[in-house]
Each structure stands twice: as C-alpha cells, then as structure tokens.
Amino acid sequence: MSDPLRLVAILAHPDDESLGVGGTLARYAAEGVETYVITATRGQSGRYRGVRQGEGADHPGAEALARIREEELRAAAATLGVRDLTLLDYVDGQLDKADPVVVSGLIAGHLRRIRPQVAMTFPPDGSYGHPDHIAICQFATAACVAAADRNAAFLRDGPFADHEPHAVSKLYYMATPAGPWAAYQEAFKKLVSVVDGVEREAVVWPDWAVTTVIDTRAHSDTVWKAVTCHDSQIAGYEGLRHLSPQAHEDLWARQHFYRAFSTVNGGRRRETDLFEGLRP
C-alpha cells in the first residue's frame, strides 16, 4: 500500500496559513490529503486590533499577544482541516537573526517526522520584502535538502535522531501575479515592508513564471472563516470584506505557485495539482 499524500506549509507567522495558502490547504484537506503547517513564530511583535505595542493601553503586550495569536492560529488551522500544527517559537520580527543551522535542522527534523511529498513556503523575496518571510524561505529550502541527507551532522542527535532521512519530492514557492497583487492593493492600499529605513514592495510575478495554479474557488468561504479566526488582527483585514467582485475572484478563486524543484515532473506546461507526478 502506498503512503498517503502529505502536504506541509512552512511559514513565518500566524495568519500566513490563511492569507497565504489557505485555499490550497483547505482544498487538499477536503480531498483527503494529510496537511501540516509549521509556523516559525507566534506573532508576538504584531499589532492588537490595529494598536501597536507601546502606543495604547489596549495592547496586551508581547507575551499575552503570543498566547492569543497561538490560539487563533490553532482555530484557523482546524478550520482549514490541517492535521498537525507545529510552532517553532522563534521571535516575530527577528527570524532573520536566528541561527540558520539550528532552524534549518529543526525544520528538517520535522520533515523527517511528517514525511511529506510536497512542501510549500514563501518565495525568496518574501512576497513583499518581509525579513521573516525571506528567512523562512531560506530555512525551509535548506531543510528540504538537509532532511534527505543521511550524513547531516546536526540531525544525528536530538528529538529526530531516530527518524530516517526523507526526500521531499516537490518544493513550491508562493507566487503573486498581477491579478492577486492588485486585489491586495485594493484591500490594503499599499502593502509594503519597511526595512532599515527602506520601503520594500512586491515585485509582481510575470504570468509565464507561474508554474502552478490551484483552483480554490470551492473553498473561499472556508478560507474566510479561517481568516476571521485571527480576531486580534481583524482591523488589518477589514479591507478584504469590501473587495470588488473581480478582486474577490483574483484573491480567492485560485492560488499561484512557482515549482522550485521537483524530482517527479518538470517542463513548461502549467500544473493544476501540487501532486502532479505523484498520484497513481
């Protein structure tokens, strides 16, 4: 009997699973694929209902916010049908300062435990330059390599020492072509990341560079329920409630990916299934 299909999303913050890949997780869970989420931080450096830390008495503080956002993340994951959620408990906003050997080794250990055929994460530019998103892309990519290496020294000890090496068959990066990016801009006006005084904005993926498009239309209601589980962040999501019909279609009906590597298929023909080349 063949192993069940397994999909893992390796992400930076609570709400990445819903806003980033919620439709994909919901679709595959509904199809019977075992879905997993690894989240690097608990989002403790974020706002609370629109209030920044230190700017108002309504903010509960970093430690309390971490607990709140973890509960929200668990509720959202359950809504999306995620089988297993792992929190690595790094500090939100400081993921790029973490030891890459330690983080990549930890993720690689979880890959050996979960044994997914397919992994997905942020693209190398972090979608819009967010340092945590860039860092998790680098760590996740390195982890996919390390998980398959029987000689990886940093995996010989610790909680995953007894797990056999595992080779992920396919790794995907989220891709944002013009339609979805325009929808985000309609909702958030200007989605940017300011790093070291420099304003970073998304670079739209050209349509030809998108290798994979997943139809998620049937699961848009589920995704919105998952988004609203993140109640502490809801002030930032209000714009999503009032999208135009076209923007709603662009944002929720499809999800786009770049196939970073695959050991089971290739070529320039666009995929409609992350498991293409893996199904019987």
Domain ranges for the chain, please list them.
6-262
Task: For tokens 């890459």, name the residue.
Answer: 100
Give the C-alpha separation, 44 to 61, whole Å: 8
pLDDT attached to residue 154: 65
Task: Give mean pLDDT, residues 183-192.
Answer: 78
pLDDT attached to residue 247: 80
Model-level pTM? 0.95
Gyration radius of the chain's alpha carbons: 18
pLDDT band at 36 (very low <50, low <70, confident <90, very high): very high
> With contact defined as beta carbons under 8 Å apart, do 110 and 261 qualify?
no
- List the one residue out of 12, 57, 18, 11 whose CA is nearest residue 234: 18
> With contact defined as beta carbons under 8 Å apart, do 59 and 65 qualify?
yes
In angstroms, the Cα distances linking 128 to 178, 208, 239, 254, 263 are 13, 20, 18, 19, 29
Per DSSP, the three-state class of 60 is coil
Q: What are the structure tokens assigned to 99, written together?
A: 């030891």
**Total count of residues recorded for the chain:** 280
Q: Residue type for 140, please?
A: A
Average model confidence (pLDDT) across the chain? 91
pLDDT above 90: percentage of residues in the chain? 70
Q: What are the structure tokens assigned to 227, written together?
A: 């988004």
Question: What's the CATH fold of domain 6-262?
Answer: Rossmann fold (3.40.50)
